[in-house]
Chains A and B, each alone.
Chain A
Amino acid sequence: MKNTIKVERAILNLTQDELAQKIGVSRQTINSIEANRYVPSTVLALKLSELFGKPVNDFFKLSNEDRN
């Protein structure tokens, strides 16, 4: 799974800490998601979707490995 959360965060001019506070997680969790070390739950993905004002598919993409 690849994501463009870092880009979306930059568009909204938010730091990792600010984004974390808005969706109720720790800064380290945001860092892990951005670095593709952790795939968030559906609830967290939908919270991000609501915050970014975009569908989840716009910033979370399946990688080729996930398709196999």
Chain B
Amino acid sequence: MTSVSDTHAMGWSKDEPAKVRVPWRQRLQPANLLWLFLAGILAVLIIAPMWTLVVSSFTDAKTGGWTLQNYVEAYGKERHITALTNTLKMGACVVILKLMFGVPLAWACTRTDMPGRNFVRYSVFGAFIMPPYLAGVGWILLAGPNTGWINKIWHAVSGSTEPLVNIFSFGGLVLVTAIGGFFLVFVLVSSAFEMINSEMEDAANILGAGPFKTAMKVTFPLVMPAIIGAALLSFLGAIALYGVPALISIPARYPVVVIQLTEFFSFPLRIEVAAAYSIPLLLITAALLGLQKLILRRKGYVSVSGKGGERRIVKLGRWRWVLFAYCMIVVSLAVIMPLFVLLLAAFSESWTTGFSLSNLTLSNFHYVLFEHSSSQRALMGSIGLGIAAATVAITLALFIAYIVQRKLLPFSSVLAFLAVSPYVVPGIVLAIGFYAAYALPPIALYGTYMIMALAFITRFLPIAFTTSSAGVRSIHPEMEEAVRILGGGRTTALRHVVGPLLKRTLAGGWLLIFVPAAQELSTAIFLVGPTTRVVSVVLLDLSEEGELEKLAALGSVLLIIIVAVVALGMKYLGRDFMLRRS
């Protein structure tokens, strides 16, 4: 040690450790504060509403004391129990139908030489963009017992006065719920089919298995975890969906849980009972997702999560037309037919009189855009909430994902766990939790956009986190270390390297949140106030008023806005950004 200009060098000796520039405690303290800050945000978004939900289900509304009375009231009536069993039955039937729709289409589009594969793919994608309640309205227009177009044609052709099909039935409820969500089965199962390396099938072939045996023994078992996962998610989606039951199950006299929940929320308001009644939904969801994890872990199909190899296309011969016909039936039921009648109704004076030139009008659009004040406000509100929820959720998720992936803070896995935990909370249950926690004094957020924004951020935080996390993981840590060793700090690395590299991923994630957030109904239904209605809620109001033409017009405007945003995203991000698994 010859140079003594540096004080640190002078202080160094063998038994006395050196004092260096950044003491240990100083470095750790801001980190702790940051952790507490993020944990605080997540507590507001997730822990407090869920905790309040559970606590209030055991709270006496009058005395504030501990009670089981809410559970007695929630499950004491036979009608309430029936709604619960009905929901489970409906969920099971929806799953079967969704699999029947989704799995063959996924196979046809990924592994066969069926004609029109891209058309089918885009149509399924259309089913994602169209909110379930709009598909529901389309089907009411098509298959309402008296005025539905299918029945009218049937009456004209057969002379019968009985309806051919009735959408206000158990079957109708199942069909409409299934077409509103089978795209998820399609996406999950197609990506599993795409991951299978043809060499695995070749290995079965070379050992003497024919094409049929190979499909049964190798191909389908390999996509089975994806099918099971899709089935579970479909079930959860079906039992928590609000819009379709609201349109169909009441006239069909088929009570389900979500409708019963709204009853507890109407006058007299019984939040505590609603909380108690929503606990099973929460438990079922958590249990099924746990089950899915267990199944996937035990089977350990590494190949499906592995790198996709070269895929061979199955040559179907003339069977490809049979498969094509089936696919066309599915996409007609799911997208083409309801969308067609919806658009037609939007341009009609009266949808009951059928199609004629004199019936065409733009007055419905004029009404919803310029006359009906709550429609205008709702459009602004939905778009605004979509933008706010997507932006905040992505920003927050990016922050947490970066910290978790780079292991910057101790116990960062707690943050990760919290960020994905809203996944097990159905939207309508989340809304009850937010209502119980924040709607009433002293916080009194009821009737503000704030409470909806918070709930939407929470609802979409899991998507935001998985997207950001995958994005951060794809950036090699050495990319940032290279900045640091050359003299840049962490912020420099974030600004010049991580940010630019994540731009596309984040924009894709933003759109993945914006689209459903702008249409969100389940979470909004209990949180909207008189002046803060969103499009989805106004659409339901219009349906109750019987203003189906105006409803169709407003729904079309919403669809056009969303399609425009998605088209912009495809232009900027490449057309597969939404079909990628998140």
> Do A and B belong to a common assembly?
no
Q: Which residues of A contact B (CB under 8 A)?
A: none
